[in-house]
Structure 1
Amino acid sequence: MIRTIRSIQAIGIATYKEWAAYRSHMAISLLIGPVYFLVQYFIWHAVYQDRETLNGFTLEQMLAYFGIAAVTNYLTFDFADWNLQMLIRTGKFVTFALRPMPHWLFALSQKIGHRSLGFWIEFVPIFLIFQFAFQVDIIPAQPMWAVATIVLSFLMNFFINYCVGMTAFWLVRAEGIRRVFLLLKDISAGLFVPLSFFPEQLQKVLFFLPFQFTSYVPTRVFIGDYELAGIKLSIPAIVGVQACAVALMAAVTLLLYHAAIRRFSGVGV
């Protein structure tokens, strides 16, 4: 266990240093959050022109929702799916198959290092811009639970994307499926519109899918209340449900990974 922790730490630090050398690439993403929010700002100002509330959201709460979603995305951003599919397609995955550490753990260690750098280069500047320049209240109502939900969202995002990446073990070209799936994932996570705006029957389906735990749940935890499909839960309760969902998704990832490795060894990809 100690050796594994040290390996994770070493890989994370190496990734941090590697990306720090090309931090200008990461700094470009500083434009994405503000531009995304400004689009939402103008859209929702037009929608709220003749009303004070919409589905229980005031204009200020709606802007806070999208501000929080944009900011927290800098902490949980993941591209494990693209990276894994690239390794499989080019044949470079074989070098990882021979290593004692499973690739999924190596990829998770890389993400820890990558997002640690992103915290300083992306999250902190955007947080300050939203809080003071845009004057959007993105201070979490319960900071400790906010930290817990971000950590769980970080893991859930990784496990979902890694599972998507593993489709490349069975498909020659998985890029199309990857793009469609990730679009549906973003819609089901509440990135484009709060999930409470969907029809009630669809909300009931979304409640049992893992995608809400990547964005919708962390955003609602930051706001300080949670409701979906008519189900209202306290912040500790929904974070507990999120933890169980992450554990289940981790188990699915491990099962799929072992099946993928057996196929990889069997066909000699």
Structure 2
Amino acid sequence: MIRAIGFVTYKEWAAFRTHMLASLLVGPVLFLVQVFIWQAMFVGKETINGLTFQQMLTYFGVVTLIHYITFDFADWNLQMLVRSGKFVTFALRPLPHWLFALAQKIGHRSLALGVEVLPVMLLFIFLFGVDLMPASPGWAAISILLSFLMNFFINYCVGLTAFWLVRAEGIRRVFLLLKDISAGVFLPLSFFPEVLQKILFFLPFQFITYLPTRVYIGDYELAGVSLTMAEAVGLQAAAVAVTAGLALWLYHLAMKRFTGVGV
């Protein structure tokens, strides 16, 4: 059933793939901005916070690729279904909506591998000269897969707030901004003050972007904690399991509230 839903979603988005092609401009343009910023920052310096200019470009190149692979809109989609009343059709189905949404994401991102990820990767390699060869391909693949799941479950938890709030769009926008900052999208988390690093280490957001990026590069360090690739991926897997458990618990509470409204 999951495979069928994923395949249908793949075909649906393939019919409107020009929407995805438009997003090809976003990643490279943002990366080019990072190139200009860090070129200015590295004038007269060999390293900044232990990273060379080339390593910094690699970091943001990998961040961009992970963003394309793990992109998720489960929060927006769920809130739209609840607000419009269309969620009732999913509540009556034997398959829980969270699993349906996950299958949709698998199909959607499978299409993105060829339409978005591969072209951007080739662009970074041949135009910008970024080294995108993972230090440990196996650990990098597992970590990106876990990042894919972590982003989904966190966003789904945000979407579930629609069952308690009339309009959760404002909360969603603020949360997504804080999530990107705390995940290391705009700046490596190791650049933050030590006190903030210790807080960010225990938040789930680093497991979406920062940790898989550092695993891809082959060196993980945050808040004075250095981990091997196996230890980092193991920690990420534990965090994903906890977040998934939280999402399922909130989903159970939401279903009780949703059915209670109709009584």
Q: TM-score, normalised by structure 1?
A: 0.97
| Distance in 1 (alpha carbons) for counterparts of 2:27 and 2:186 | 13
Matches within 5 A, 1:26-65: 26-65=20-59
Q: Who is 1:77 aligned against?
A: 71
For residue 13 of structure 1, the aligned residue among 7, 25, 34 is 7
Partner-residue secondary structure (3-state), 1:242: helix
Could you tell me which of 223, 227, 240 is aligned with 1:229? 223
Please list the CA deviations of residues 60-96 of structure 1 after superposition, one character each: whole Å capped at 9, or x if unmatched. 1111100110012111000000000000010000000
Instruction: Name the residue aligned to 2:143.
Output: 149
Q: How many equivalent pairs are there?
A: 263
The one-letter code matched in structure 2 to 1:103 is H
Question: Matched residue of 1:227: which SS?
Answer: strand
- Aligned equivalent of 1:250, options 244, 249, 256: 244
In the other structure, the counterpart of 1:202 is: 196
Identity of aligned residues (%): 69
Deviation at 1:221, TM superposition (A): 0.7
Structure 1 distance, partners of 2:193, 2:66, is 26
- Structure-to-structure mapping, 1:208-223, within 5 angstroms: 208-223=202-217
Q: Secondary structure at the match of 1:232?
A: strand
Tell me the alpha carbon deviations over residues 114-172 of structure 1, each in whole angstroms, 9 at most, x when there is no partner: 00000010001111111111110111110011100010000000000000000000000
SS at match of 2:22: helix
Q: Which amino acid aligns with 1:115?
A: R
Q: Which amino acid aligns with 1:156?
A: M
Output the CA distance in 2 between the equivalents of 1:82 and 1:120: 24
Alignment of 1:177 with 2:202, yes or no, is no
Name the structure 2 match of 1:122.
116
C-alpha distance in 2 between matches for 1:50 and 1:184 = 32
1:247 partner letter: A
Say which of 153, 156, 160 aligns to 1:159: 153
User: What does residue 66 of structure 1 align with?
Assistant: 60
Runs of 4+ in 1 over 4 A off after TM superposition: none
SS at match of 1:136: coil
Shift of 1:10: 0.3
Q: Which structure 2 residue ranges, 5 or more long, are not aligned?
A: none
Counterpart in the other structure of 1:266: 260
Aligned equivalents of 2:262, 2:206: Cα separation in 1: 37
- Give 3-state SS (helix, strand or coil) of 2:221's partner: strand
TM-score between both structures, scaled by the size of structure 2: 0.99
1:218 maps to amino acid: P
User: How far 1:52 sits from its partner (Å)?
Assistant: 1.1
Amino acid across the alignment from 1:85: Q
Instruction: Tell me the CA shift for residue 268 of structure 1.
Output: 3.0
> Cα distance, 1:190 vs. partner?
0.1
Aligned to 1:50, what secondary structure does the other structure show? coil
Q: Which residue of 2 aligns with 1:93?
A: 87
